[in-house]
Structure formats: structure tokens, C-alpha cells
Structure 1
């Protein structure tokens, strides 16, 4: 029936949708090439967190990485009985119940076996009384099954079904036999959407009728009383998807409000055939009605999203069969003909701007008026943060670095010429810098810094450390190294830190006019982790952090040594740049993990995978800017964030062992795995059921009895253990979501590998008994041998005595 309804939707004319300045929604699509068919009838998320899809060609389970298909196999009674799936639910024992057009199946996830049920064996399998349209297990453990001709209640003790149908002589009987939807609200009340209206089951087992149709219209008449779905929103309002529009049911005043399509109102419902209703995290209703309709409940206006052949990110098909808002926040839309659509609600904490047309950019500077200056290969550009507008400035010489001094003057360096330019705070003219002797500044500058006294510091490609006094226009060479200077930074104590490309770090004390060298020693873990210095930054507690060879190092000022931060501490191993915010947090831009915020007081790390690797900059207002770089295979963009508005994905993902293999062959498993000694090459596959950027979920595992500590595998989600000795083991796995929120409890499974028969307890007992019997036999033998020996001696003595006696005679 659902299929037929959906096909008829295609025949209903859709009036043109005038999308009035609607926000763009971009969908990710899953089709046949991703392992799932295009004709999907229903979608469901179980209590564990798996997403299940029912199609016309079998059942699918999705774990965030791949689809696993279950379909009917001729002659195999352990497979699903029918591949045309209409409804899915789970029970409190972890079983998955599947309703299809010829009955009901129960799937045991541990044994991977399907059990088949015929609801009405008195009638053919293709009768509507066997065609399942809806399923639900209530909080009391009752399993309800809705069909095209009757409601069923499953009795687990007797393994039988009680059929409930309309009785025209009984007022409190169910009003119609087509049970299209079953829904349990927050209070535990069970609602049934039928072909004749809305039904509520009271505590006595009687049905109370709401929004019913005394004339019993069928769905062909477009009746708003032919109910296809029931949903309760966060405010307690019941919403009904019907063949004649969307119905809002307010139980407080027992009022009903019908939303219909209006060809003269582009913000009205897109189509009167309403299949599914769901609510997103912002409180908007997602409604399937000739495409996707999103209802703003405050304005009572709909925004329409339809298939657009020219837009690859549009919804894949207007014939929507199901909508799911799953636990981690993603929204799934299934279609009949377009496969599966996935939408990740965007995080609103940052704005981004394209910089692709300007070439590679590495630095930003904010002037005293709040204007952002950006160096490019074609000259200077500026950015107005309030108007969010970029402007190309008159200075057209290539610019590789910028600096703002304490007086508000802008210093501009051109690498191609080696010349230095400046713009005074209140002057629009840009002048070239000449020293007090009239000589132009001409060096291969690779690092710039302004200190608290107003001096400018430059590091060059050929290792020079230059100090420029802007007032005296004096340039002084302080030191010359054999290494390229990468970065110069002044800490809160006034010390100047100089990072080189290969020679480690140098600390310059201006008062004492001394340089101190810090380098890496492979034999001393308290030295820097490498000699290539990427960045310096102090956090809010005054601790200096240094990135050396992409590893973060914490400087111990008192002992003048370094603590290398590792993945075991939760820090990334591929750090790139550092920035502090106005709250004293340290921001770490990394290649694999995006951007990380470290709170030095709480010692906690927060991951922001949306903020890609880039060069950071902080404004006076506390906003952070990140320049993503095309050198790292990403489009160059300017990402602007307000740290105070940041929100993480706080969802703690369930951790599931999805597959167990012996010698690379998949086998069913439960809470305990028992293996013989010669089947000891095993492997596991696991998943964190977080569907927001699941490719960024991370894992750690440990086999107790083998691994001394957790093995942090990053995004790798499998583990192998060859040639395990006989014994008892526990395999444990934990994981995180895309923003680094870990499920520390994880999951575990016991593995018992039996020894060969010759190493069992009874074998060893037999060996002991055999040993005892052997000793006993040897002892008996010796005793018998001694006895015989003595007997021979005795006989010989008797014989000798007899012989002597005979001689005397």
C-alpha cells in the first residue's frame, strides 16, 4: 500500500515552488554504488544506534562506513522470508523485527538468523491481513503490528498473535482496519493512524476516536482522515501526515488545524499527500509532501526543497518514503527512486570566505580601526569584518608578510624585491623604508615580529637576526645562523624566541644580550622533539608551547627542558600552528584532526574538525581567523570564528563490534566467543555509531592478556591477533566521535581458546595417573625382582645345605 501511495504521489501535479530566499541545504547521497538500492521504503534507528533501511530488494544495516545487506535466499530458511520491506522496529532484547508484504520476520543479531511469522495463516500470504505497514514495541514490551487489514498484538509467552479489527457493533473498537502508523508519545500513550482517523488506546484496552471520518473515505479520495504518520513534537503537539494535508492536533484544547497546499501561496504546503513528519534539533518540522517541506512552527510557513537536476547537492528524488532524525544529529531522507539522502545540520559558529582567486596567503594583520589587511602575490587586499567585504588596495607589489607595530603603523614586506614598505596609522600613502643612511632595506625576510618596546625583528632565509628601530631608522644585525629563520615570537617575559628550519630554537634575552640554544637530542626525551620549529605560543597560564617537527612541546622554564606531548595525552602528532584566545586557551591547528582547543587550567581538549588546518590570527575583539592553505590540498578559505559561540558534537557514540573473523572469514558471535586451539587467527571490526563525519571517528583497542596498554589506532577500525595461545582473553574497544568526544566505557567481548586435547585438564590428569601407575609398576617390578632374587638365594642356600648334608652321609 505504501508503495502504491508513493507512486500516486508522482501523478499528483506539483505547483511551482517559489523558493523565497531559503537557506541552502546540501545532501549527501547514497545509491547503488555505495551498496544500497535506490528504492527505499522505510528507515529506522535501533536502540544500539545502527541505521536500518527497508527496500524492495532486502534489508540493509548501516554503521557509518558501509551497508550490510540481508535478502531472501531461495531454499535457506534462516534468511529473511521476503525482500519487500515495509516497516522495521526493534525490541528490548536487541532483536530486529521486519514487516514485509507477506508477514513478519524477527532477526537475531547474534546468530544472524531470521525467524518467520505468518500473521493470518487462514488467508493467503498476499492478503492485506498479512501485509505489514507499521511496527512498534511499547515501553511495556508489547509488540504491535499494523497491517492493511487489522491490528495484531504479539504474545511472547505463547508466541502467538491476537488480531484486533473493527467491530461495527462496538463503539470502542478500532475505527478502521488499515493501520498505517503506530506511535507512542512521551507519556506512553499508544496512537494508531488508520484509514478512518486517529485512534488512542486507553488503559482499559478500548479505543478512543480522534479526527475520525464517519464516511470511511479511502486514500484515493485525498481524505485528511486517511492517516499515514503520527508524530509528537517537543511541545507535545501531535502532527498527522494524511492523504489530505498536514494536521496539527493540540490536545490541551482538543483542536485540529489542517495545512493544505495553496497554489497562490508559495509558503504553503507543497503537496496534500503527507507521508512522514519529523522534528529537527532547531524545532522545525520536516515534512514529506511532494518533496521536502520544512515548517517553521512560529511563522507557520513552509520552505520547499525539491530535486534539481542542475544541483548535485539537492534532494535526490521528490518521492520521499521516510525521514529520520538520528541520535547524533544527522537527518536521513529515503526515497523511492533516488536512494538515501543524508544531511548534517551546519554548525553556525563560524563563517567562511573564499580566497582562491588571491593565491597563497599566510598572514593577516588587523589595524587600529579593525580593518583586516591581507598580503597576496598581486598586492594588498583588505577585509571589512562588519560589511564582510573584500577590497583590492592600490598597493600592487607582491606582499609576503605584514606586521603592525605598537604605534599602529603597517609594515609591508615584498619577497620578490626584498624591500620593506610602511603605512603610517593615519596616512593612506604607502612608502618604501630607507634607513638613516638612506639605504633601502633589502633582505630575504622569512619571519617578522614586533616587540613591546616598538622594535621590529626580522629573520631571514640565510639565518640573519635583524633588529629595526623605526624611530631611529636603524637596522642592526644581532646574530647570523646557518639555518633559515621560520618564526620569531616574544613571550610575556620579554624573551624573544627564534625558530629555525633545522637548528632548533634560540632564546634571546634583550636585557642580558644573550642567546640560549635549545635543540633536539634523540637520546634525551627532555629535549625538543625536533629541530624544525613551526611555531611558538604562550597559553593563559604563561606556559610556552613549541611545535617542533609537528610535535607539540611544553617548555619547563624552571628546569629548562621540554615535555613532548603524544597521542596518549590526547594531543595530535601532526601539529602545524598555534594561537591563544582571550580566555587563555591554546588553539592547535593540525593536519589530521582539524583544530583543537586546549584549556590549560582544566587540561581538557576539544576538537573542531570543521576548522581545517591553517594559519591562525586573533583580533582585538577575540575573534579567530584561520587561513586554509592549498599547499595542503584544500581550497584556500578564510574561516572566521567567535570562540564564545563554539559548539561541539557532544554526542557520545555507542561502540559496537560489527564483525568477527576467523582466518579472514566472517562468523556470527555473541557476548562470548569459544574457539578451538587451531582456530586462533582472529580479527575484529568495530564502529563508533556517530554519523556526523564518521570518517573522523577515532578508536583505541586492547586485548587483555596480550596488549599491555591501549592501542590508539586513529581512524583505523579493525584489529588482528594471529596465533593466540590457548587461554581466556577480553577484547576491549573504545572510540570517539568526529569532535574527539570519547566513549571511555566502549564495549568488550570475551574470547576463550580451548587447548588441544593433549593439553586439557583431563589429559594432564591422565598423564599424572599414568605417571603414578608407571611408578607403581616400576616399584612393583623392583619388589618382585628383589623377592625373586632373595628367593633364588634362599633356594641356593637350601640346595647347598642339602648337598652338604648328602656328602656327610
Structure 2
């Protein structure tokens, strides 16, 4: 769709251009071109512009004799040779340049070939070298590219073809053999035809190179079959199977390839439509296939239909003429602008300009005689009548181009009454009426005489003779607006009426600047000072005055009226010195158009209405058109071809054909509104530079910045050079700007302290016709600082997680510690409870122990004391007999030993527990020792009705022990067995050899021990035989002593018991205590 739209737009442009040029051509042979200029004052490095190019980015390049210049329409970038910079171009003298398909530039200079990238940075220099790796000569005259992408270079010493892929040069030189070489080594021009064949211009003739046969053919002035007038060729151009040849002194030759015919165009001084000079410098074909010819005496455009030239020269008095007559280069950019490089700068113009400009030519009498234009009128014969400020009345025959001047002569009463001419109009085919500063004049076209009317005299002083504005109404009355009053003149009767219309209505402002009759027959008058707008209804003879009301925005914008007009819908348009007003008659409401609505300037002069009901108004800032379909204002100024930005009052006119005329201080413009072509050239804004802290960087569509590179400036431009001053820009940085930022004509945007993030910079432009381009976008990513990067945040997250983990772990550890401590405390509490219970129990055991112990001690003591008391009593009574004494002594002895035994057990136990007990170790046959102790107690055992059984499994076993202490253990165990075994029971003594240990078992068939008491029977304070102990006696010290003695020997003692069946005490002793210890 976009391609279709572009084609449609181009078609409209071409059609409009054709219509416009046809109108101009109809009027004059050479349509005037208003050139703009670029000189060294505007930034060019040097005035001689030898080559021009627009690159694919839209920049314009100008190669001069001192530097390569690049511009975006606002500023220049200049490349020059520098012996201090290795990356500078090889020479500042630029002869030719091209841009290849890879967007690289190939720049020919006086010192070699340079390859530059699209930004103008040097890629490589190619100098002179006799091998195939260098140029034939350093001085280059022509550079071009063939369809294969190879670069052709014309040098001062041969033709070089550079193979970009292999980086090699193929060279061709002069040869006497015409088929294998050039006619001359000095190659000045290159071009290709449709077949890809090369045409080579030299200082000595034209050469044709057939790419298929690889053979040359020559065309020189010496050849009999050629009409080449000069062999020194400057430039070549191929078009329509013809070779256009610019020669140095021989004019312009055209070689028709198909017919093998030359045609030459030379200068003819008597023909201003001939070539301006025989020295042709350059050639160019524009998009409409027009051939442009640059010579050393001006610019020529070949006119195919008439086979001649339109010639343009520099005119010292016209700043809009060619800047210099020596034309060195010609180029047309993408928008259609023609660029002319000369010996003194660049001239450029827009060929689609629809505004024709006519002004005084001081060296041509057949032109306007004054540039201050005050009024217009076109009669039925097509003659344009122009009023001037000081040049009287001018008539321009638009068919012949003849201009006539009519000026005041004090000696000729038939001359015009004044040279200050304002309003002009006609009546019929014979008369033209002219308003001057000295009355009304009627010009008779048949007689060529003027008739003067002194308005002041004819109206009895009611109307001033200083006439300003003329208007013929629908009834044929000529209305005259003057410096002081209003009158209506009947051309037939020559009678003035309505002379007192303003006076009787007490209207004080009688400077009538404009008169208009609407579609209903009402007359409208504009007052030039402060009288406002007057509506006169002739049917009711009533006046209605409209003025500005301070607090009413729907009132007239100001009371000073400059002109009045109306459209086909009945809307009245009023130009004032403070904007343009539209008046809705039915609603009696005004709508204002000022600079705030886009008007070029608030000071308006004349308003005209086109066929589409669009108003065109002249101002002090150019011409403004209000497009009523879009309610959009389009402004035009000098760059569009206007005579000036300042126009004049009364100086506006619309002919019957719809052609409009506006006059100003530098001539006048005429145009057909429908042919004023909008600038439909649609291109996008280009980003030209990206600067960080005012330092330019290389950039792409995606710019990645560091966190501290957030102060940047983006420069941009619209590659539309029709009117760069009227380009308006808007930009926004999404994420920073909430809406589009208006930058007017400023072509850069600056941002500071931009936060890290991803942004999209957008910029768009409105061209001179008010058409907006699509936004250009670049992505900008301002990276986070290192401490804000994802990695950093990941690290922070990890650290946070670690901290959280450490805190959690610490809490967990604390909880565990608390839990453990709680468990420990609970355990300790339980242990303490157990200990407490044990203490309580031990206290009970102790109590029991001490009770038992006291019983054990008291019993023998009581027996002893009783026996002693008995003996003492018997002895006192002399009843003591010998046999009784022995009996009592035996009782005393037995209980004394028993008491001694208990005391010894207590002492031994205390010594062992305190660690003060020492064994007396010796080698002992443990089997013998146990048997002897058991046998020694046999009588005691049997006396208790028990059976003793000794069953050793080994006959002899030597161990290291304290025999006395072991004996005590055996006696205690046997004693306990006897004590707790009822009659008819048995006591078993068993000895086992366990190699390095000996096991002694004392087993009975007694009462047995409960399980809950087994672990505490060796505690001297906890005797397990509570009830039994009470029956059988005993303190429990024996087992405690046995346990301690066995432990001292490095052995152990264990118990197995079953209540009611008996108990078994097993002692395990090591054979060698020292080894065990």
C-alpha cells in the first residue's frame, strides 16, 4: 500500500509540475527560476563545487577544491587532508565521488582514491603503484561503478578498474592499436550504456569499450566519419541510446548510437536560446529526463520540443539568480531539488515550485519598472495591468511578453494623474479604471489616453481624491474607496452617488480599504483605521457595523480592516492587521485565524478564495492557505518562490480563470491554487549523531549505554531540502516524556540524568507543506549500575537468603539449643528426680542399713554384755561353774568375732571407697584357694542342713591376686548362700578356666532375688532382702565389700537369680592384674 501511495503521489507531482510549466511556458519562453544559494559564508569549505551527491542516509555531499563537505541542511561536516592524521583523506581537492551498493563512498582526489564508510570515516587509501595493487596515476578525474560492482577510475595516466572482491586493479592505457587501448591516457569522463558497455572520455577523443569482445573503438575529431568538434572531453552522459558529450571548446555533441550520427550544439551569440558557451563543464539527466548542461557561461536546460535551450545566468542585481556562471556540477536529490555546483558556491531550487515571480529587471526595459506592487487587473484580452508605488501603471501582454509603462507627465493631460497606482479594474473591453493617489483615472485602450476624475471636486469635498480601492458590483456600479470617504460611480452616466453614505451614519473612520458585494447583494466596506466592518443593505438602506468586543472571542479580532472577500457558501472573509476572520452571516459569529492557529503572520493584507472555498491570505510572513477540509494552515515563503515574506495592501487579485496574484515589495507572484503542489516527498527523519556528554559515539538502531552515560544528546534531520527553515520537529523519549515535545526547527534533543531502563526515542518532522513523516525510532538501553544489575540483585538475593538462612539457622540452632537444653534440663530434672528419689531411697536404704548395721552390732554386743552381766552375777553369787564359764567364753568369743567381722567390713569398705585400700598381690592357685575356703566352711554349711558341692573344671590355675581378699569374697558369698538357703538346699561351687580369666560361681537353691533389686544389691545402703533380711539378718556390707574387692582385682561380679529357685553369683578375675591394669 505504501508503494502504491508513493507512486500516486509522484504521479500527482509530475502532473502538477507539467501543468505549472505549461502555464509558465505559455507566458514566457524561459520560466524564471528563483535559486537559493550556499556559499562559503554558509559553511562551505571552498567555493568551487566540482561534484555533488546525496547519500542513502539523505546527507548532501559537496566535493570542492579544498575539502569534502557533508550537510544535513543546518550544519556542515568537512573532511580535509591532514599530514597529522593518518585517517584523513589523501587530498583536499575532490574531483569526483560515488556511493556504491554497499553504502561506501569512493572519492577521487588529486592524490589518489579514498574509500569511506557511510559516516565519512576513512576505510582505505589507494595510491599510485605500477603493480595491480595501485593506481596508474594519483590524479583522478572520474569515478563510477559498473553493474558488477567494480569501480572504474579515470586517471591522468590511464583507465583503472578496481575489483573490490580481490582488491586488484586492471589497467588500460594508450595504444596505437585502436582495439586494445585508449586514444589517450588522460581519462576525464566515464559512463555506461544499457548493455553495460563503457564510454570513456579522454583529452584526445571518445572511446567505446565492448565488455563482451573486450575491444575498444575510438571517436575523434580526426575521424572522417565523426562530427566531434573537439577531442577534449569533460563529461559524458548516456540517455535514450545516445551519448551526450561535453567538450572543452567544441560545444555539446550528441552521438546517436543507433544511427551512428553526431549532432553538435554550439553557442550562437545572436540566439539567446542557444548553448551559452562552447566550453561545457558537466551534464545531468533529471528524473523527468530533462538534460541539464553546465557551461562556463551559465546553466542550460535542453528543450526537446524546440531543440534549443533555456539559459540561466548570474545577475548581479538578483540574489535569486544563479550564484555564478561557471557551472561545474549538477545533481537532483530524492525530493526533486536541483543542485548546481559553480565556481562560487551552490545554487539550488525546487522545480516543482508553483509560484511564478516577476520583478523589475534594471537592465531590461521590457520588464516592470518598479518592484513595489500595489494592484492588479487582467482584461478580457489577457493583458495584465499592474499598479506600482512609484512606477505608474504597467501592462504586461502575457502572450508576447511585452511590457508597457504608463506614467504621469505634467505636460500631458492625457497621462495618468499619478505614478502611485493602487486599485485597478475594468469596464467592458474598452476601459480600465485606475485608483491613484491623485484621483480616479479611466484608460481608453483604443486611444491610449487617460481621463482624470477629481473626486474631491466632483463630490463637493465629501470624498478624498486619494483613491485606494475599486470594485464593480453586480449592477455595474464602480465603488471607490478613498483615503477619506466612499463613492459609487456610474461608468455609463459618469455620475457619483453614495458620497454621503458614511457621513449621514456618523461614521468617523472613512479610510475605506476594501469593498465587497456578497451573494445576497449586500455591500461590505472595510475601514482601515478603527471603524471595523460595515454591512450595507441597499434594499433597506441600513448600515450594520461590526467591531471587536473585548470579552467576546466570537467578535471581530480587530477594527482595522485590510480586505474583504466571500466564498460560494456565503461566508465572509476579512483580513485585518491582527489575523484573518471568517464571518457566519446567519449566526453573526466571527472565527479567528491568527499565528496561534498556524497563520504565517498576524498582519494580513489581501484574502482570495479558490475553487475549493479555501482562503489564501498575504501577510507580513508570506502567504497562508487555510485548507478548509482539514482546517489546517499551510504557509509559503521565499523558499517556495515568493517575492518576499512581506506583501502590500490592495495588491491582490483573482482572475476569471482562477489565477491568483499577490504583490509585495519585490515584485509579484502569480499562480493557480490547484497547481500549488504540496511537498509530498515523504521521507523519515534520520538520526545523525548520538553524543554522550557532548562526545559523539558510533551508534545503531539499538544503543546500549552504561549507567553513568545517562547524559546524552540526539541530533537528527529531515533530508528534505526544499525549505529546511520550515521543517518542524517533534520528539519523545518513551518512559521519560509523557507526550511529544515540540522543538520547532531545532534538530536535537537533550536528556540528562536518565534512569536505568529501556527506552524508545521517537522523532518525526513536518515538512514545508505541513505533512508529517512517520516516526523514526531508536532503542536506548541505559544499563543499571553494577550494584543494580541482575547479577548484583542475584548476589543480593543470595546474601539476603544467606542472612535469612543464617538468622533462621541461628534461630534454629537456638531453638535446638533451647530444645536440647530443655531436654537436657528435663533430663537433668528427671535425673534429679531419679537422683532425688534415689537419695530418698538411699536415705531409706541408709536408714535400713544403719538399722540393720546397728542390729548387727547390737546383737553381739547385747550377747556379750548379757554374758558379762551373767558371769558377773553368777560370780557374785558364786554360782559360776567351770563348764558354764567355758560356755560363756565361747559365746563371748563368737559374738566378739562377729562384731569384729562387721567392724572390719565397715572399715574395709570405707577404705576401698576412699581409695586408700591396697591389695597384696601374689601368685596363687585360685582353684586350691577356693576349694580350701569352701571345705573350711563345709561343717558350717552342713550344720545348716545344706549340701556343699564343689565342681572345678580345672585342677590348677595360677593367677595374680590378694589371697586374703579373695578368700573374704568366697566366704561372704558362701555365707550369704547359707544364710538365704533353707534346709535341704544345696550350695554349688564351680570354677571355669577362661584362658586369661578365671570364673568362680557360687550358686544356691535359696529364696532368690527379685529383678528390681538385682542392680542395687551391691549398694551397701540398699539391701534387697528386706523381709528376708529381717528374718535372716545381715547388713548387706558383705556384698558391697565383695563388689569392691573384685573390682580392685580388675574383675567383675554379676548375679542371675530367680525368686524361689535361688541365686548365682559369678566372679570373673583376670589371671594377671598388671596386664589388665
Same fold (TM over 0.5): yes
> Contact (CA 8 Å) 1:95, 1:109: kept in 2 or not?
yes
CA distance in 2, matches of 1:135, 1:797: 103
* 1:750 alignment partner in structure 2: 779
* 2:822 alignment partner in structure 1: 793
1:340 to 346, 353, 357: 346
* Count of residues in Structure 1 that have an aligned counterpart in Structure 2: 731
* 1:133 alignment partner in structure 2: 141
> Contact (CA 8 Å) 2:157, 2:173: kept in 1 or not?
yes
> Contact (CA 8 Å) 1:529, 1:548: kept in 2 or not?
no
* 2:92 alignment partner in structure 1: 83
CA 1:238–1:723 in structure 2 vs 1: closer, same or farther (change >3 Å)? same
Give the gaps of 5 or more residues in structure 2: 1-27, 360-370, 374-387, 391-418, 456-463, 843-1077
* 2:486 alignment partner in structure 1: 420
Question: Residue 276 of structure 1 aligns to a residue in which SS?
Answer: strand
* 2:77 alignment partner in structure 1: 68
CA distance in 1, matches of 2:443, 2:666: 16
Q: 1:190-216: CA deviations, max 9, x gaps?
A: 433234543445453724525247899
CA distance in 1, matches of 2:752, 2:452: 62
Higher Rg: 2
CA shift for structure 1 position 779: 0.9
Residue 112 (structure 2) pairs with residue 107 (structure 1): no
> Contact (CA 8 Å) 2:135, 2:160: kept in 1 or not?
no
> Contact (CA 8 Å) 1:106, 1:116: kept in 2 or not?
yes
CA shift for structure 1 position 59: 0.8
2:126 to 101, 115, 118: 118
1:98 to 87, 107, 124: 107
CA 1:613–1:300 in structure 2 vs 1: closer, same or farther (change >3 Å)? same
CA shift for structure 1 position 785: 0.8
CA shift for structure 1 position 451: 4.9
Residue 381 (structure 2) pairs with residue 355 (structure 1): no
CA distance in 2, matches of 1:133, 1:697: 37
Residue 428 (structure 2) pairs with residue 369 (structure 1): yes
Q: 1:24-61: CA deviations, max 9, x gaps?
A: 76654433322221243333333444321222322101
* 2:38 alignment partner in structure 1: 30
CA distance in 2, matches of 1:340, 1:387: 50
Give the gaps of 5 or more residues in structure 1: 1-19, 217-221, 479-484, 486-497, 505-518, 521-526, 630-634
Name which of structure 1's ranges 407-416 and 457-466 shifts more when overlaid on structure 2.
457-466
> Contact (CA 8 Å) 2:579, 2:595: kept in 1 or not?
no
* 1:242 alignment partner in structure 2: 247
CA 1:659–1:555 in structure 2 vs 1: closer, same or farther (change >3 Å)? farther
Residue 609 (structure 2) pairs with residue 580 (structure 1): yes
> Contact (CA 8 Å) 1:230, 1:277: kept in 2 or not?
yes
* 1:290 alignment partner in structure 2: 296
Q: 1:212-240: CA deviations, max 9, x gaps?
A: 47899xxxxx972332211134x543211
> Contact (CA 8 Å) 1:49, 1:654: kept in 2 or not?
no
CA distance in 1, matches of 2:731, 2:577: 27
Question: Residue 154 of structure 2 aligns to a residue in which SS?
Answer: strand
Q: 1:402-461: CA deviations, max 9, x gaps?
A: 544331212224344xx332211324465672469x969864246755455645455767
CA shift for structure 1 position 783: 0.9
CA 1:721–1:651 in structure 2 vs 1: closer, same or farther (change >3 Å)? same
CA distance in 1, matches of 2:322, 2:555: 52
Q: Which has the higher contact order (CA 8 A, sep 6+)?
A: 1
Aligned CA-pair RMSD:
4.9
> Contact (CA 8 Å) 1:196, 1:214: kept in 2 or not?
no
Residue 623 (structure 2) pairs with residue 623 (structure 1): no
* 1:718 alignment partner in structure 2: 748
CA 1:690–1:364 in structure 2 vs 1: closer, same or farther (change >3 Å)? farther
Question: Residue 731 of structure 1 aligns to a residue in which SS?
Answer: strand
Q: 1:111-157: CA deviations, max 9, x gaps?
A: x5212232543479998523222112234433322222233333333
CA distance in 1, matches of 2:776, 2:535: 59
Report the structure, 1 or 2, having the larger strand content. Answer: 1
CA distance in 1, matches of 2:196, 2:626: 42
* 2:328 alignment partner in structure 1: 321
> Contact (CA 8 Å) 2:532, 2:559: kept in 1 or not?
no
CA 1:751–1:454 in structure 2 vs 1: closer, same or farther (change >3 Å)? same
CA distance in 1, matches of 2:29, 2:59: 36
> Contact (CA 8 Å) 1:683, 1:719: kept in 2 or not?
yes
> Contact (CA 8 Å) 1:503, 1:532: kept in 2 or not?
no
CA distance in 1, matches of 2:244, 2:310: 18
> Contact (CA 8 Å) 1:291, 1:304: kept in 2 or not?
no
1:151 to 159, 179, 183: 159
Question: Residue 72 of structure 1 aligns to a residue in which SS?
Answer: coil
Q: How does 1:346-495 map to 2 (within 5 A)?
A: 347=353, 350=356, 352=358, 354-355=371-372, 358=389, 366=425, 368-369=427-428, 378-380=438-440, 395=455, 397-416=465-484, 419-428=485-494, 430=496, 433-434=499-500, 443-445=508-510, 449-451=516-518, 454-456=521-523, 476=542
Q: 1:327-384: CA deviations, max 9, x gaps?
A: 4444433344x33344555846546564355399998574553877665655457899
CA distance in 1, matches of 2:100, 2:447: 55
> Contact (CA 8 Å) 2:357, 2:667: kept in 1 or not?
no
2:237 to 212, 222, 231: 231
CA 1:709–1:364 in structure 2 vs 1: closer, same or farther (change >3 Å)? farther
1:732 to 753, 762, 767: 762
* 2:548 alignment partner in structure 1: 501
Q: How does 1:589-628 map to 2 (within 5 A)?
A: 589=618, 594-596=623-625, 598=627, 600=629, 608-609=636-637, 610=641, 619=654, 621-623=656-658, 625=660, 627=662
CA distance in 2, matches of 1:562, 1:305: 48
CA distance in 2, matches of 1:451, 1:290: 57
CA distance in 1, matches of 2:750, 2:444: 55
Question: Residue 136 of structure 1 aligns to a residue in which SS?
Answer: strand
Q: How does 1:764-783 map to 2 (within 5 A)?
A: 764-783=793-812
Q: How does 1:12-31 map to 2 (within 5 A)?
A: 27-31=35-39
* 1:514 alignment partner in structure 2: none
* 2:977 alignment partner in structure 1: none
* 2:974 alignment partner in structure 1: none
Q: How does 1:642-653 map to 2 (within 5 A)?
A: 642-652=672-682
> Contact (CA 8 Å) 1:608, 1:648: kept in 2 or not?
no
> Contact (CA 8 Å) 2:727, 2:766: kept in 1 or not?
yes
* 2:264 alignment partner in structure 1: 258
CA shift for structure 1 position 80: 1.9
Name which of structure 1's ranges 299-308 and 758-767 shifts more when overlaid on structure 2.
299-308
CA 1:765–1:693 in structure 2 vs 1: closer, same or farther (change >3 Å)? same
> Contact (CA 8 Å) 2:112, 2:135: kept in 1 or not?
no
CA shift for structure 1 position 769: 1.8
CA 1:762–1:326 in structure 2 vs 1: closer, same or farther (change >3 Å)? same
> Contact (CA 8 Å) 1:87, 1:99: kept in 2 or not?
yes
Question: Residue 253 of structure 2 aligns to a residue in which SS?
Answer: strand
> Contact (CA 8 Å) 1:556, 1:562: kept in 2 or not?
yes
Relative to the length of structure 2, the TM-score reads 0.58
Q: How does 1:169-180 map to 2 (within 5 A)?
A: 171-180=179-188
Question: Residue 758 of structure 1 aligns to a residue in which SS?
Answer: helix
CA shift for structure 1 position 586: 3.8
CA distance in 2, matches of 1:35, 1:72: 18
CA shift for structure 1 position 477: 5.5
CA 1:272–1:470 in structure 2 vs 1: closer, same or farther (change >3 Å)? closer
